[in-house]
Amino acid sequence: VTLESPRLPTFADVLDAQQQLSGIVRRTPLLSHEYLDAAAGGRVFVKAECLQRTGSFKIRGAYNRLSRLTAEQRITGVVAFSSGNHAQGVALAASLVGIQAVIVMPSDAPASKIEATRAFGAEVVLYDRATESREAVAAGIADERGALIVPPFDDPYVIAGQGTVGLELVQQLEELGLRPDVVLAAASGGGLVAGISLALGELAPDARIFAVEPALHDDHAQSLAAGEPVEVRPETSSFCDALLAPRPGDLTFAINRTRLAGALGVSDPEVAEAMAFAFRHLKVVLEPGGAVTLAAILKGRIGLAGGVGVVVASGGNVDPDVYAAAIQTGQ
Amino acid sequence: VTLESPRLPTFADVLDAQQQLSGIVRRTPLLSHEYLDAAAGGRVFVKAECLQRTGSFKIRGAYNRLSRLTAEQRITGVVAFSSGNHAQGVALAASLVGIQAVIVMPSDAPASKIEATRAFGAEVVLYDRATESREAVAAGIADERGALIVPPFDDPYVIAGQGTVGLELVQQLEELGLRPDVVLAAASGGGLVAGISLALGELAPDARIFAVEPALHDDHAQSLAAGEPVEVRPETSSFCDALLAPRPGDLTFAINRTRLAGALGVSDPEVAEAMAFAFRHLKVVLEPGGAVTLAAILKGRIGLAGGVGVVVASGGNVDPDVYAAAIQTGQ
């Protein structure tokens, strides 16, 4: 059973999601540092979604989706597949809504993400990334239990929920008398950056929005060049475990294709350096996938020319050993 | 030359400091997590001063002090001694006010704190903690240059500046419709907890305020028991480098003696565990001294009995190797 909602979400859906999420998600702060301003040649604000409930933005889309289920759908519960952040988002959302959730996770996902997902009350089913398809495992469970599959990005409610990050950052800048000129958001399936694009298309239509991804896993750059979703070949790896979807989603790319100013790539060492920067100067914990946007700014992938830039730091769920290595070597 | 301002600060001084600091310091967020609420049996809010400029609350008192200098005092500049956080606070405040600062730091202070102090434009003079007295080194420089010594805690403007943490947390709780029942703040010389006591004495007189310190460096507990400042003997050590002042200040203790509900002690392993908790669940970087209050809550040193508690997480300036060890072992 899959959720039937193939239409593209709109700005109105993002506004509606913000209503739905009121009292559920946190309004995460904008952080700043003189060194970032200097690196980018403008004013930089870090939208710290690592401080969001579950340690990433994913609770926004997950709750917006799960809170819309029908009475029948609530009874059979939901199934999701995720390497970790969507897993935690769905697990917490399910617990808040009061339904059962089964999460299909790769057996090599960060231990902290697996533990946290279980701690939110979800049932975790592990699969072998090398020999099994997560879609097939999830579909098997869904069929068996009559449960609904909650997609990690290619769903209008999920995209609209993630888009509330865009609404918030515009509102927070407004309180400072500012408007965004450039916004950077990490892209795996592209749901976050698509949602932000919907919000900014209406509220800050002149802002340029970039997807940021691992340089060796550049399906967004390839897809934007091709004009259609392209799957990365050969399968490449990166320690940005949250950003390894093999291709953009169909719905997300239909939005991103027309709205993004481009896609920027960063290397794993650059990401480690950004994690170390956040440790040393911002005092927030970023996971690899949550630090790609900061890396793009620190490495000058995009200049601000005196303008205002917002980098979304999308998550902070990282195992201690990976983090320790990053902050000790990445400086 | 020492600053002459021996009178005890009052609530009015704290209000005045908040005016003075407007636009200079950040209103740091209150963080929360279900696990903390469960551990304390109430609602816990973490006042995240690690997200303050310079990575600790010390900029508050330092700026409030330096911005009050006379025209003559500005010319000769200031001298301060500090293991790190006051150093950075004075260095940034001096740069904002436009005066010269010399900071006397122990040669074994965390490298990150020494570097950051230099990066703010201050001149750093290192001394050997084993063979030299920091007071004597600072006094020598002050005499030579005619510069003023800025004390780390025993000064009315410094205490009033730190007290703005107390004003803010009461105001932030008010916005949530809450009042504080218990407040925990780390104590080295006692300036932060004294300032908070001044603010809460007026705004939340029923709240119980506790100093938290390393269990083996318990000069506040000993002093409260004796009714006068007691120096810890023998010299004890702790990895809470920010909390090693040998005895409470005279001004700070004159306030704390009558206002504190008590002093709580935590061990270094308990502090490492709290740092790991903040890494894993709150996604903020805490230094050892910044995590003692969280450790006290997690270890049940104080219960909330259904009430509202605020723990001030006072700083996040820690070397990567110390941090890596804490998050890898402290869980």
B309 touches B44 (CB < 8 A): yes
Residue located via tokens 């001084």? B13
Angle at CA A272, nearest 5°, toward A267 and A277?
A: 125
Q: B29 touching A, CB under 8 A?
A: yes
User: What are the φ/ψ torsions at residue B30 (nearest 5 degrees)?
Assistant: -95, 120
Q: H helices within chain A, ranges in order? A: 11-21, 34-40, 58-66, 71-76, 85-97, 111-119, 134-145, 156-175, 191-203, 219-226, 250-259, 268-277, 288-298, 320-329
Residue B294 pLDDT more than 80? yes
B244 touches B220 (CB < 8 A): no
For the record, the structure tokens of A196 come out as 């932000």
In angstroms, the CA A204 to CA B42 distance is: 42
Angle, helices A11-21/A58-66, rounded to nearest 10 degrees:
90
Contact across the interface for B279 and A50, Cβ inside 8 Å? no
Q: How confident is the model at residue B4 (pLDDT cuts 50, 70, 90)?
A: low
Instruction: Please give, rounded to a whole number of angstroms, the shortest distance from the CA of A1 to a CA of chain B.
Output: 33
- Pick the residue with more confidence: B83 or A206? A206
Q: A283 touching B, CB under 8 A?
A: yes
Q: Three-class SS of residue A294?
A: helix
Q: Which residues pair with B127 in a beta bridge?
A: B106
Provide the pairing of β-strand A123-127 with A101-106.
parallel
Q: Which of B51, B281, B320 sits opposite A279 (nearest CB)?
A: B320
For the record, the structure tokens of B5 come out as 């301002």
Q: Which residues pair with A184 in a beta bridge?
A: A210, A311
Can you give the three-state secondary structure of chain B, one letter per residue? CECCCCCCCCHHHHHHHHHHHCCCCCCCCEECCHHHHHHHCCEEEEEEHHHCHHHECHHHHHHHHHCCCCHHHHHHCEEEECCCHHHHHHHHHHHHHCCCEEEEEECCCCHHHHHHHHHCCCEEEEECCCCCCHHHHHHHHHHHHCCEECCCCCCHHHHHHHHHHHHHHHHHHHHCCCCCCEEEEECCCCHHHHHHHHHHHHHCCCCEEEEEEECCCCHHHHHHHHCCCCCCCCCCCCCCHHHCCCCCCHHHHHHHHHHCCEEEEECHHHHHHHHHHHHHHHCECCCHHHHHHHHHHHCCCCCCCCCEEEEEECECCCCHHHHHHHHHHCC
**Contact list, B281 vs chain A (CB under 8 Å):** 55
pLDDT 10s digits, B152-195: 999 999 999 999 999 999 999 999 999 999 999 999 999 999 99
pLDDT 10s digits, B90-103: 999 999 999 999 99
Q: B283 touching A, CB under 8 A?
A: yes
Q: How many residues in total does chain A contain?
A: 331
For the record, the structure tokens of A142 come out as 């869904």
In angstroms, the CA B245 to CA B239 distance is: 13
In angstroms, the CA A170 to CA A178 distance is: 8
Q: Which of A55, A280, A284 sits opposite B112 (nearest CB)?
A: A280
Residue B5 pLDDT more than 70? no
Instruction: Please give, rounded to a whole number of angstroms, the shortest distance from the CA of A296 to a CA of chain B.
Output: 21
Q: B27 touching A, CB under 8 A?
A: no
Q: B288 touching A, CB under 8 A?
A: no
Q: B50 touching A, CB under 8 A?
A: yes
Helix (H) or strand (E) holding A262: strand A262-266
CA A208 to chain centre: 18
User: What are the b/e assignments for A231-267, b being 16+ CB within 10 Å?
Assistant: ebeeeeebbbbbbbbebbbebbbbbbbebbeebbbbe
A290 touches A282 (CB < 8 A): no
Q: A29 touching B, CB under 8 A?
A: yes
Q: State the pLDDT at residue A127.
A: 93
Instruction: Please give, rounded to a whole number of angstroms, the shortest distance from the CA of A31 to a CA of chain B.
Output: 8
In angstroms, the CA B297 to CA A153 distance is: 38
Say which residues have a Cβ less than 8 Å from residue B240's Cβ, sequence separation at least 6: B186, B214, B217, B268, B271, B288, B289, B292
Q: Which of B50, B281, B320 sits opposite A328 (nearest CB)?
A: B320
Q: Compute the half-sphere exposure of residue A311: CA atoms within 13 Å on the CB side of its CA.
A: 32
CA closest to B315 among chain A residues: A283
Q: Which of B55, B280, B327 sits opposite A283 (nearest CB)?
A: B55
Q: Three-class SS of residue A107?
A: coil
Q: Which of B50, B51, B279 sits opposite A320 (nearest CB)?
A: B279
B92 touches B57 (CB < 8 A): no
ipTM value > 0.90: yes
CA closest to A276 among chain B residues: B320
DSSP A9: P
Q: Model pTM?
A: 0.95
Average pLDDT over residues B224-250: 90
Contact across the interface for B316 and A285, Cβ inside 8 Å? no
Angle at CA B59, nearest 5°, toward B55 and B64?
A: 170
A148 touches A187 (CB < 8 A): no
Instruction: Please give, rounded to a whole number of angstroms, the shortest distance from the CA of B282 to a CA of chain A.
Output: 7
Q: State the pLDDT at residue A1.
A: 47
- Pick the residue with more confidence: A116 or B287? B287
Provide the pairing of β-strand B101-106 with B78-81.
parallel
Q: State the pLDDT at residue B1.
A: 47
**Cα dihedral B43/B45/B46/B48 (nearest 10):** 170
* The dihedral sign for the CA sequence A229, A235, A236, A241: positive
Instruction: Please give, rounded to a whole number of angstroms, the shortest distance from the CA of B170 to a CA of chain A.
Output: 19
In angstroms, the CA A276 to CA B302 distance is: 34
Contact across the interface for A112 and B50, Cβ inside 8 Å? no
For the record, the structure tokens of A122 come out as 């979800």
**Contact list, B84 vs chain A (CB under 8 Å):** none
* C-alpha closest to that of B318 among A38, A106, A280: A280
User: What are the φ/ψ torsions at residue B313 (nearest 5 degrees)?
Assistant: -95, 100
CA-to-CA dists, residue B121 to A177, B99, B116, angstroms = 30, 10, 9
Contact across the interface for A280 and B31, Cβ inside 8 Å? no
Q: How many residues in total does chain B contain?
A: 331
Contact across the interface for B29 and A50, Cβ inside 8 Å? no
Contact across the interface for A283 and B31, Cβ inside 8 Å? no
In angstroms, the CA B288 to CA B313 distance is: 10
Contact across the interface for A328 and B324, Cβ inside 8 Å? yes
Best residue in B283, B321, B327 to probe A by mutation, most A CBs within 10 Å? B283
Write the single-letter amino acid at A255.
Answer: I
Contact across the interface for A283 and B321, Cβ inside 8 Å? no
Q: Which of B316, B320, B327 sits opposite A283 (nearest CB)?
A: B316
User: What are the φ/ψ torsions at residue A30 (nearest 5 degrees)?
Assistant: -95, 120
* C-alpha closest to that of A10 among A202, A166, A188: A202
Contact across the interface for B283 and A55, Cβ inside 8 Å? yes
* C-alpha closest to that of B127 among B116, B115, B140, B118: B140
Average pLDDT over residues B18-23: 97
Q: B297 touching A, CB under 8 A?
A: no
CA closest to A287 among chain B residues: B283
Helix (H) or strand (E) holding A312: strand A308-313
Contact across the interface for B283 and A284, Cβ inside 8 Å? yes
Average pLDDT over residues B268-277: 97
**Contact list, B29 vs chain A (CB under 8 Å):** 29, 51
Residue B241 pLDDT more than 70? yes
Number of CB pairs, chain A paired with chain B, less than 8 A apart: 58
In angstroms, the CA B212 to CA B220 distance is: 8
- Which regions in chain A score pLDDT beneath 50? 1, 3
Q: A7 touching B, CB under 8 A?
A: no
Q: State the pLDDT at residue B236.
A: 73
Instruction: Please give, rounded to a whole number of angstroms, the shortest distance from the CA of B136 to a CA of chain A.
Output: 31
